[in-house]
Amino acid sequence: MENSELLRGKLLREYQTIAAMVEIYCKAHKHDAKPMSACPECLEFLAYAHTKLDRCPYGQDKPSCKKCPVHCYKPQMKDKAREIMVFAGPKMLFPHPIMAIRHLLSARDLVPNKPPANQSNRHLRKLGENQ
């Protein structure tokens, strides 16, 4: 679940971080399905996050979502993302110290005003496939 065949680099690390947070969140909330890999609600969220990472217009220069000027999540998913991060963020330090620290540091990066053209992971992947 914490892997992706499509993402790489920074986007992959970010996906792994959110996947780890979703897992912490889901377990703690005792969602109906056990194991967590069968919780439809959390899986749907994670798949959504994955798609958004793949399509992030900043690509490998993706800023922290918190600071990003592009509001790409629909409101319901944005609420869920916030809920998961507020809950699981502080609990990340023990099981995933490197991810947690990287996540905190990336929140301090400066945010470019406008995404560059054609830099999303998805776009670059499609280009590669056509070659």
Looking at beta carbons only, is 21 or 56 nearer to Zn ion? Answer: 21
| In the complex, least distance from residue 22 CB atom to Zn ion, rounded to whole angstroms | 7
CA distance 49 to 122: 14
Looking at beta carbons only, is 7 or 42 nearer to Zn ion? Answer: 42
CA distance 116 to 108: 20
Task: State which amino acid sits at residue 8.
Answer: R
Looking at beta carbons only, is 26 or 56 nearer to Zn ion? Answer: 26
| In the complex, least distance from residue 97 CB atom to Zn ion, rounded to whole angstroms | 24
Which spans of this chain sit near Zn ion (rule: CB under 5 A)?
A: 26, 31, 39, 42
Q: Which residues contact 18 (CB under 8 A, 6 or more apart)?
A: 46, 49, 81, 84
| In the complex, least distance from residue 19 CB atom to Zn ion, rounded to whole angstroms | 12
Q: Which residues contact 86 (CB under 8 A, 6 or more apart)?
A: none
Looking at beta carbons only, is 39 or 49 nearer to Zn ion? Answer: 39
| In the complex, least distance from residue 77 CB atom to Zn ion, rounded to whole angstroms | 14
CA distance 112 to 28: 36
